[in-house]
A and B are shown apart, each in its own frame.
Chain A
Amino acid sequence: MATQDSPASGLAFEQPIYDLEVRIRELEQAGNKSAQTEDQLRSLRRELAEVTRKVYSELSPWEMVQVARHKDRPYTRDYLNLAFEEFVELYGDRRFGDDRAILTGFAKLDQYKVMVVGHQKGRTYKERSACYFGCAHPEGYRKALLKMRMAAKYKLPVICFIDTPGAYPGVGAEERGQSQAIAENMYEMSRLDTPIICVVIGEGGSGGALGIGVGDRVAILEHAYYSVISPEGCAGILWKSGAHAEKAAEALRFTSKDLLEFGIVDTVLEEPLGGAHRDHHRMAARLKMFLIKTLRELAQKPSAELLEGRYQKFRQIGVFLETPVV
């Protein structure tokens, strides 16, 4: 048990947390514990909670991005397993193929029957390459729209989980109309006649996120981010080097707190102490509670009111000066 190991998470700022965790594990594993060891363990655990709280309350935007991209962070598939009673996957866009970067299907959440649409990043190398690390192609967006339309036909609410670095930049994606696919999704989602709840669970990567991001309620997890461009991309253009990503992350104002302030999201879902990657179950339970509460609320709205509310929600976004016309 070498304490000089870097944290398993690979996050440098988690070092103090990791060091304590290692010490606790060593003590726990030691045989026949004395009363003194028990005391020591109790105080270490208290210290761990405090240190974790401190580290996570002081995350910089760039550190937040690292948390949002964490390899152990729960993905759509994890929430489907933990928060939903059933998931019946529906494949394919019936035009070109089945994009593994977006999962779609019927799901049961408590007593609600819903349609789930969510980015999936994949955990193993094989999964990750199959879904291009959660970067969808046009067929992914078209699959999402096809299933959402079906949901509207049968009055199933739609739940979208957003977690993507961005839509895939490639030759095939351009040939098959990446722009058109994303544009059409926003266009149709804005008038889709069924409740839509969108939750940014990890990375909200620009147009690739917004392609399944137009809804009646938009929520974000505490340490997730939602941005017009990745910090690396922004730094590459404005600072002429991706190495300035940290500065770009500060400048872009994309943390959950900023988004709430700008009126982009309605709700920030608090993550378990030390981030969602530390406690999938607790995060899933909180998400489930939020979804059920919101579904109940939206189900009561007549469709005209729902659609008007959705239109106005996006209509009012933007900051500009309006000088009186003389």
Chain B
Amino acid sequence: MASSEQLASDATPVTETVGAPNLASPSQAPMSEGSNSKRRPKRGVPEGLWLRCPGCAAVIFRNESEKRLNTCPECDHHFYVSASQRIQQVLDEGTFEEWDAHLMPTDPLHFKDQKAYAERLVAEQQRTGLSDAAITGGGMIRARRVAIGVTDSAFIMGSMGSVVGERLVRLIERATTEHLPLIIISGSGGGARMHEGILSLMQMAKVSAALARYDSAGGLFISVLTNPTMGGVAASFASLGDVIFAEPKALIGFAGPRTIKATIRIELPKGFQTSEFLVEHGFVDRIVPRAKLKSEIARTIDYCGW
């Protein structure tokens, strides 16, 4: 019996990634100041002018990378981009109109771990300039009007709580009534947000139900997976696209690699839970490098006759 209990409790953290962020994150991305701080400061070189690519370890100019939509000029490693940068990269200039920005997160559980959730929210809002982990709105992609949502992995791991769920559902419902193609770009290592408990879990069902209605109405949903897309986000809207794109080498999966390793106690195969792994197993339609994303979305919309 002891062994069965043991195994049962090992199996429990399954759910870890549904709420849980133990994954590669913006804080690991080279954009963060922190990653440079341990290295010897170079005299005369302004802070953050250089970065080291986590993909190939080359030292590169930040400017150069930014020109290439935050990818490495040496190895094409895709760095973190914020939701607003993403919108700039994908939409025609000046066409974005944000919807439902007035929805604000609150603390329904009065959740407190080592820090109160209410305080965490304020700190995250100040740090990222976002009100919550998703931005939604309307805009144009190569002159085609679309409804677009983007989750930002910088805000509590891009996790989905009530505001993310509600913004996405309102986006989907509006895309349904206005007959717009729908694009959702996911960057969520955290899945469903633990700090809002069961309310977060239920957002998965709520968003999926809205997508089912959009689908029944003939909608076209293009889901774009970026690094990382895990847990409850992967297990809801991110996996429900009519067409699913992924950026190269993004981490995508249900359970976090650490949880899996702790449960089955074997080395994970090379390239496990990457975009390429998902293509190989049939769960992603195409890997689309960031530079091609806009044109690939436009082309898909055309093919589907929208």
Contact surface of A with B, Cβ cutoff 8 Å: 69, 71, 125, 128, 132-133, 135, 165-171, 173-180, 182-184, 186-188, 190-191, 205-208, 210-211, 213-214, 226-230, 232-234, 236-239, 242, 247-248, 251-254, 258-259, 262, 264, 310-311, 314-315, 317-325
Contact = CB atoms under 8 A, between A and B. Distances in A.
Contact of B254 (A173, A264, A324): A173
Contacts of A169: 11, 13-14, 16, 254-256, 259-260, 263-264
Contacts of A183: 204, 208, 234-240
Contact of B198 (A175, A226, A322): A226
Contacts of B208: 183, 186-187, 190, 214
B8 A165 contact: yes
B198 A227 contact: yes
B306 interface: no
A151 B239 CA distance: 25
B15 A207 contact: yes
30 contacts: A166-B15, A166-B18, A169-B259, A173-B254, A174-B254, A175-B277, A183-B204, A184-B240, A186-B209, A190-B208, A190-B212, A191-B216, A206-B19, A206-B201, A214-B209, A228-B15, A229-B19, A233-B20, A236-B13, A239-B113, A247-B113, A253-B197, A264-B202, A314-B206, A315-B169, A317-B199, A317-B203, A318-B163, A319-B108, A322-B103
Interface of B: 1, 3-4, 7-9, 11-16, 18-22, 102-106, 108-109, 111-114, 162-163, 165-166, 169, 191-194, 196-206, 208-213, 215-216, 231-232, 234-240, 252-256, 259-260, 263-264, 266, 268-269, 272-273, 277, 281-283
A146 B124 CA distance: 42
B18 A188 contact: no
Name, among B11, B104, B268, the residue most crowded by chain A CB atoms within 10 Å (CB to CB).
B11
A264 B196 CA distance: 13
A118 B210 CA distance: 25
Contacts of A213: 205
Contact of A238 (B102, B114, B209): B114
A233 B162 contact: no
Name, among B8, B163, B215, B264, the residue most crowded by chain A CB atoms within 10 Å (CB to CB).
B8
B106 A232 contact: no
Given A169-B263, A238-B113, A239-B113, A320 B163 contact: yes
Contacts of A236: 13, 16
Contacts of B4: 125, 128, 133
B9 to A, nearest CB: 6
Given A214-B209, A321-B105, A325-B102, 19 more contacts: A169-B260, A178-B253, A178-B254, A179-B239, A184-B239, A186-B236, A187-B240, A191-B209, A206-B15, A210-B202, A210-B204, A226-B198, A227-B197, A234-B194, A237-B20, A262-B199, A314-B205, A320-B105, A323-B104
A167 B231 CA distance: 11
A148 to B, nearest CB: 14
B106 A228 contact: no
B268 A171 contact: yes
Given A228-B197, A319-B162, A171 B272 contact: yes
A317 to B, nearest CB: 4
Contacts of B283: 177, 179-180
